[in-house]
Amino acid sequence: MNTTASTEVHLEALQQAVNLAEIETLGRARLDQNALDYYVSGANDGHTLRANREDFARIRLRPRMLVDVSRVDTSTSVLGLPLGFPVGVAPSAFHGLAHPDAELATARAAAGLGSVMTLSTFSNTPIADVGQAAAGRFWFQLYLLGDRELSREIIARAGDSGARALVFTVDAPYLGRREANERHRFALPPHLSAPNVASRETLAGVETDTGSQLTNYFQNLVDKSFTWNDLDWLRAQTELPIILKGILTAEDAELAVQHGCHVWVSNHGGRQLDTAISAIGALPEIADAVAGRAEIYLDGGISRGTDVIKAVALGARAVFLGRPALWGLAAGGEDGVRRVLELLREEVRLALALSGKQNLGQVGPDLLRMETSPLHP
């Protein structure tokens, strides 16, 4: 089959996919072992990775009946940016492993649907190019580097490129141990680079004889000593709102608010500390602690519209997709990411309607019943 024909077949399969799981199957089939290992892996035994999904399923909905749902409004806003539905794209490194259009495809899809994309520090595409493709609908995710001068430059570049917020990832002073990547020595293919942080030579020069190239590279690059006391330094570097990504406790949420930051509840898709609590499990105590003083977002395990409204009911303003966006990207570039977002948008609409809600403002804790667990009877 020639390339054009194969692309057409693929686009048809994308349009026929009825849910995110089917797009995952399409995406997986397009990836080599190196990329697939990198995308699917969780840390160690994958307990937290699984818990992110399982804990959504343990929450049951209490739908109300005989409500006029002839019109359902899925819109919201994040930091003043209107969203067509409460779903954005989480930062993930190296979109070039999934598709040649890499982060540009993701940015265009998100912007086209009135969503928002978070661009990783470790993108394969320079910030400025993604900024253009995103048409104002992007946040920049920062890994703070040991080299403060370079960090400062990156932050400035993000602002100049139109990023609307700085998402500072706080759960990764070290990378969690993704054992498949260690075993198979995950490496970035030679045609890809990480232009925001390093020249191609620097990355290619990282030795891969032992373990994952990314881990070896990351270890030397990222600042492991940064604490709450240093947040003032970060604050002084940018006028952008700062969101702390990777918060899992009420204590840290309180500190985040005291430091003037917004809160992104996440365990990095189960890729950092294995057996850490699930994102949705962490949300209630965080929403209590924040008490409306800052915006709250969540990622980890979202695969259904009902997951989205459960997170909103527990206090999240929007949720973000990590792997599902990557599966869409692998399955069909911009079209694939668009299909993922469209499917989820329509699932959110239907979930609201069948719950007897006309808009997200009507979604609160009364929509939920938590299944009991031995730990939390």
Query: Which sequence positions are flagged as catalytic?
Result: 268
Instruction: Give yes or no for residue 164 binding ligand FMN (CB under 6 A).
Output: no
Residue 139 touches ligand FMN, criterion: CB under 6 A: no
| Residue 178 is a binding residue for ligand FMN (CB under 6 A) | no
Among 27, 91, 159, 332, binds ligand FMN (CB under 6 A): 91
Number of residues that bind ligand FMN (CB under 6 A): 23
> Which of 36, 81, 90, 318 is the binder for ligand FMN (CB under 6 A)?
90
Binding mask 24-43 for ligand FMN (x = CB under 6 A): --------------xx----
Could you say whether residue 266 binds ligand FMN (CB under 6 A)? yes
For the segment 101-130, give every residue that binds ligand FMN (CB under 6 A): 120, 122
Instruction: Confirm if 144 and 196 have CB atoms less than 8 A apart.
Output: no
Residues 282-311 that bind ligand FMN (CB under 6 A): 299-302
Q: Which is nearer to ligand FMN, 76 or 181 (CB)?
A: 181
- Of 305 and 322, the one with the shorter C-beta distance to ligand FMN is 322
Report d(CA 341, CA 204) in Å as an integer: 34
193 binds ligand FMN (CB under 6 A): no
327 binds ligand FMN (CB under 6 A): no
- One of 141, 181, 238, 355 touching ligand FMN (CB under 6 A): 141
- Is residue 197 close enough to count as binding ligand FMN by CB under 6 A? no
Q: What is the SS3 assignment for 259?
A: coil
Q: In this structure, are residues 84 and 54 in contact, taking their beta carbons and an 8 Å threshold?
A: no
CA-CA distance, 88 to 318, in Å (whole number)?
A: 7
**Shortest approach of ligand FMN to residue 345 CB, angstroms?**
16
Q: What angle do CA 322, 326, 330 make, to 5 degrees?
A: 175
Between the alpha carbon of residue 200 and those of residues 120, 169, 187, 292, 319, the distances in Å are 17, 24, 13, 44, 33
Tokens of 191: 């045609």
Site string for ligand FMN, 236-255 (x = CB under 6 A): ---------x----------
Q: Cα(350)–Cα(341) distance, rounded to whole angstroms?
A: 14
| Using rule CB under 6 A, residue 96 touches ligand FMN | no
Which lies closer to ligand FMN via its Cβ, residue 339 or residue 357? 339
What phi and psi, each to the nearest 5 degrees, are found at residue 74? -95, 5
User: Could you tell me the sign of the dihedral formed by the alpha carbons of 347, 352, 358, 364, in that order?
Assistant: negative
For every residue of 260-316, DSSP letters joined together read T-EEEE--GGGTSSTTPPPHHHHHHHHHHHHTTSS-EEEESS--SHHHHHHHHHTT-
CA atoms within 13 A on the CB side of 229: 1
Interface with ligand FMN, residue 262, by CB under 6 A? no
Rounded Cα–Cα distance for residues 169 and 224 (Å): 12
Residue ranges binding ligand FMN (CB under 6 A): 38-39, 52, 90-93, 120, 122, 141, 169, 245, 266, 268-269, 271, 299-302, 321-323
